[in-house]
Chains A and B, each alone.
Chain A
C-alpha cells in the first residue's frame, strides 16, 4: 500500500522567512542602540530593558494562558515591544513604572484588541504616552551621560530639545555629540549613529522599506528649515537630538500600525512629519515624535480604505 499523499491548494512552496524571523531581525537591529545606551548611561540601561522585555513577554503569556489562547510568545513580537518601550524611557526610571508600561503595551493595547497584528496603535509608544501622563516627572528626568571610569553619579539635566524649547542655546551639546549619542535623552534613542546601523541591517534584510523613514525625516527637515528661518544646522541638530531616528526607522515602520500600500505609507509619513514639526516648534512639549506617530496610527484604517492601489491593467484604458 502506497502512503497517502498530501493534497493542498497551490502554491506549494513558500518563502523562508516567518513572523518570528522578522522579529528576530528587528531585535538584532536594535542591539547597536542598546549597546550605545549602556555605553552612555551605564549598566542600568540593560536592567531597564531586561525588565521591560521580561514583563512584556510575561504579560503576553499570562493573558494567553488565562484566556486559553494559543501562546505566541515565541514569535518574539513581545520582545520587540519590550525593547522599544525601554528605549523610550529615561535610564533613571523606577523599575515598577517599566512594569506598568509593559502592562499597558501588551494587555491594554495589544492583547485586548486580539494580539499580534490587531493593535491599532503602536504598543510601545502608547505605553510611553501613558507613562508620560501618569509620571511626568520621572519620565522627563534625564540623566547626563556618564563617562566610563568616572566615579561621579549621573546628574540630571535637560535634553537638547528641552534646551531649545527654553531658548537656552548656550548649553547645547555639539552636533557630533548629538549624532553619536553623547547627550541626555531616552536610553535607546540618543545615538543616531547606532540606530542608523540597525536600520541599515533592516534595509539589508528587506524588513523595512525606505518610504516611511525617508518621507518622515524629509518632511521634518524641510518644515523645520522653512519655519526656523533656513537654519540648516539647527534642522540637522533636531534630527539627531530627539527621537526622530528611532521613530522613523523602528516606530513609524511598525507593520501593524502603518498603511499597507506605498502611497498610503508616504501619506502616513508626511502626516507624522508635519505633526512632529508642529509639536516641536509650537507645542508645549519639546518632543513630538511619539504623539505624531500615535496620531497617524489612528488614521491608518482610513488611509488604507481610501488610498487604493491601481490594479494592473486598470489604469490607462479601463
Chain B
C-alpha cells in the first residue's frame, strides 16, 4: 500500500539503517551543562538565577514575559558557575547559564506537586499553562513554542490534530525509536490533547519506511475514539507541517496563514511525549533524544541526553573519528546546520549530530543552469527555484516577491536535485533574509 502524500518532493538516500534498530541509550553529562537563553522562536529568555546560586533539576533558569517564548529549565542540580556569552550550534554567541553539575540530580519539589494523575477534568487554560511552564517547543527543529499552537483563538477551532511521525530527514531515527519504545506514552499524550480539544480528531502520521512503528501505534489506538493512524509515503519533505496537513486532509494552508486557519494543529512525536510528561509527571522539558550518525562515527546511536550537554560528549560516546570527519551537521542533512565548533550545548531543537566523511559531503563544481526544470519538478511549494535564484543573485527583490519567493520553506529539494549543483535554496534564503531586514 502506498501511503498518503503531497505533490513533488524528492527521494534522497535515507541512510537510516545504521541507527533505526538501535535502542535508545542514556548518556549522563560529565562536565558542566550550558543553557542558551534562546532555544525557540520568539522572545529570548532572561536569566533568573545569579552566579553562585544552587539550582535543582527542573528549576527555571531563564524566563521571558513575552507570550511567544518558552522558559528554560536546568536539567541537572548544581551551582550556577557563570552567566555569559557562549557559542551555540548556529555559530553565533548567545547568553548562557552555565551550571556546574553536582551529580546528585536532586529534583525541584514543585514537579511532583504539579503532577496530575487524572487529567479528565483538565481545561484548555490549564493545559496551556502547564505546557508553557514546561518550556515546550516544537521538537522538530524550528522551535515554535507549543502553547502558542494550543492557544486557539475563540473564532477558530481545531478539527484535526496531526502527530508528525514522518521523520523525513535522512539519517534521523530518534522519532522512530520513540514511537517503538514509548508507544503508550505517545498515545496517552494524544489522549490528553483530545481531552482538551473535544471536537478534534487526532491522526498519527508515520512514513511507510517505519512499518514496525506504524503497526505498534495502530494496535495501540485500535479501541480508542477519535484517534487513528495514517501511513504516509516516504518522501522528503513529508514532515513539513503544510505538506503533512495536505497529505492527511487534502487541504492546503493558504500562503501567509497558519494551520489553525484550516482547523489543523501539528505536533511532533517528541512534543506529544513532552506534553504527557509535563501533565502526568509535572516535569518540564529537560532531555532530548539525539541521533548521532554518519560515516565519521564508529558507534552510530540514538541517545537520550540532558539538555545542556556538550556536543563533544555525544560525539565521544558515538566514537567519532576526527580524522575522517570533515563536516559536522546539527540536525538532518537537508535542513540542519553545519557546525564549526563541537563545544556547544544540546538544545531543545537538537535532533541529530551527523559526522560526514569526505565522500558523504561531496564537493561539486557549480556550473551553468541548463534549465532542466528539475528544481521546478521537485519544489513542494510549487515555485520556480531557478528563476528565484536569478532574481536573488541580481538583487531584483521585486521580481523575487512577484514569484512568491517568500513562501519558500527552505527544504532544500531544489539544491539537492540540481544537476549543475547550483546553490538554489541558499540564494533564496539569503534573499528572504535581505527582504525581511529591509522591512
Contact = CB atoms under 8 A, between A and B. Distances in A.
A72 interface: yes
B170 interface: yes
Contact of A6 (B170, B326, B335, B372): B326
A14 interface: yes
B419 interface: yes
A12 B329 contact: yes
Contact of B338 (A8, A117, A312, A316): A8
Nearest to A12: B333
Interface stretch (A35-43, A172-180, A255-263, A274-282): A255-263
A310 B383 CA distance: 7
Nearest to B10: A15
Interface stretch (B102-110, B251-259, B269-277): B251-259
A7 interface: yes
Q: Most B CB atoms within 10 A — which of A2, A7, A13?
A: A13
A68 interface: no
Nearest to B327: A6
Nearest to B411: A11
Interface in A208-257: 209, 255-256
B15 to A, nearest CB: 9
A26 B356 CA distance: 33
A304 B384 CA distance: 10
Contact of B242 (A6, A255, A313): A313
Contacts of B20: none
B421 A304 contact: no
Contacts of A256: 370-371
A75 B382 contact: no
B254 A308 contact: no
B437 interface: no
Contact of B384 (A12, A77, A308): A308
Contacts of B420: 18-19, 117
B386 A260 contact: yes
Interface string A1-40: 0111111111111110111011000000000000000000
A115 interface: yes
Contacts of A4: 340
Classify the interface of chain B: helix, strand, loop or mixed.
loop
Contacts of B370: 19, 22, 77, 116-117, 255-256
Nearest to A118: B368
A253 B53 CA distance: 70
A14 B334 contact: no
Contacts of B373: 255, 259-261, 265
B252 A315 contact: yes
Given A15-B417, A310-B382, A313-B253, A6 B364 contact: no
Contacts of A115: 368
A314 B253 CA distance: 8
For chain B, the bracket of interface size reads: 35 or more
A12 B242 contact: no
Contacts of B10: 15
Nearest to B407: A311
Classify the interface of chain A: helix, strand, loop or mixed.
loop
A77 B368 CA distance: 12
A256 B243 CA distance: 30
A168 interface: no
A311 B257 CA distance: 14
A53 B325 CA distance: 43
B381 interface: yes
A136 interface: no
Contacts of B327: 5-8, 12
Contacts of B328: 5
B369 interface: yes
B417 to A, nearest CB: 5
A209 B337 CA distance: 34
A113 B13 CA distance: 37
A10 B381 contact: no
B317 interface: no
Nearest to B408: A311
A117 B382 contact: no
A10 B255 CA distance: 24
Q: Most A CB atoms within 10 A — which of B335, B339, B376?
A: B376
Contacts of B368: 114-118
B387 interface: yes
Contact of B371 (A2, A17, A255): A255
A72 to B, nearest CB: 7
Given A115-B368, A313-B254, A318-B256, A6 B403 contact: no
A77 B370 CA distance: 10
Interface in B11-68: 12-13
Interface in A101-139: 114-118
Contacts of A261: 373, 376, 384
A85 B361 CA distance: 38
B335 A10 contact: yes
A5 B338 contact: yes
Given A304-B387, A318-B255, A318-B256, A9 B429 contact: yes
A114 B325 CA distance: 38
Interface string A67-91: 0000010010100000000000000
Contacts of A75: 367
A118 to B, nearest CB: 7
Contacts of A312: 6-7, 242-243, 246, 252, 380-382, 407
A13 B322 contact: no
Contacts of A262: 376-377
Interface of B: 6-7, 10, 12-13, 91, 170, 242-243, 246, 252-257, 322-323, 325-329, 331, 333-340, 342, 354, 356, 360-362, 364, 367-373, 376-377, 379-384, 386-387, 403-404, 407, 410, 412, 415-421, 423, 425-426, 429
Given A14-B415, A312-B243, 17 more contacts: A8-B327, A10-B329, A11-B334, A11-B415, A12-B329, A12-B334, A13-B333, A13-B360, A18-B419, A22-B370, A117-B369, A258-B371, A259-B373, A261-B384, A308-B384, A311-B383, A318-B255
13 contacts: A2-B322, A5-B325, A11-B415, A12-B333, A12-B356, A13-B333, A15-B416, A256-B371, A260-B371, A260-B386, A308-B403, A316-B254, A318-B257
